[in-house]
Amino acid sequence: VQLQASGGGSVQAGDSLRLSCVASGDTFSRSLMAWFRQAPGKERECVAAIQWSGATTYYSDSAKGRFTIFRDNGAGIVWLKMDNLLPEDTAVYYCAAVEIRAPVGVGPKYKTAQDYDDWGQGTQVTVSS
């Protein structure tokens, strides 16, 4: 699946953003989707992931309570709604996909970059204090 991420920008602390990832190809509805971010000098980290059906989700500790991941399989889009943004959320955000009908949330699986096959190009999010 090919992925196109958008929606980043420069905001103030406390603001909200909604990132979008549009997928092309016929595997989106069978794919586990995730949002990663990478700040300068840091490893790429998974902030949220969602099962192909939307039945299970995962959030990193830093994202829990502030970020929401959701998807529309008919439209081929996955979103990341980010509320109450903090300066430490500043990073390039990437969407990623792996074609598998598996749940996410329990255990370490599907929470690292190596678990994903397809990547979008990244969208910059900058949060100033």
Q: Is the pLDDT of residue 25 over 90?
A: no
How much is the pLDDT for 73? 95
Q: Is the pLDDT of residue 107 over 80?
A: no
How much is the pLDDT for 44? 97
* pLDDT band at residue 105 using 50, 70 and 90 as cut-offs: confident
How large is the C-alpha radius of gyration of the chain?
Answer: 13
Residues 6+ away with beta carbon under 8 Å from 2? 23, 24, 25, 118
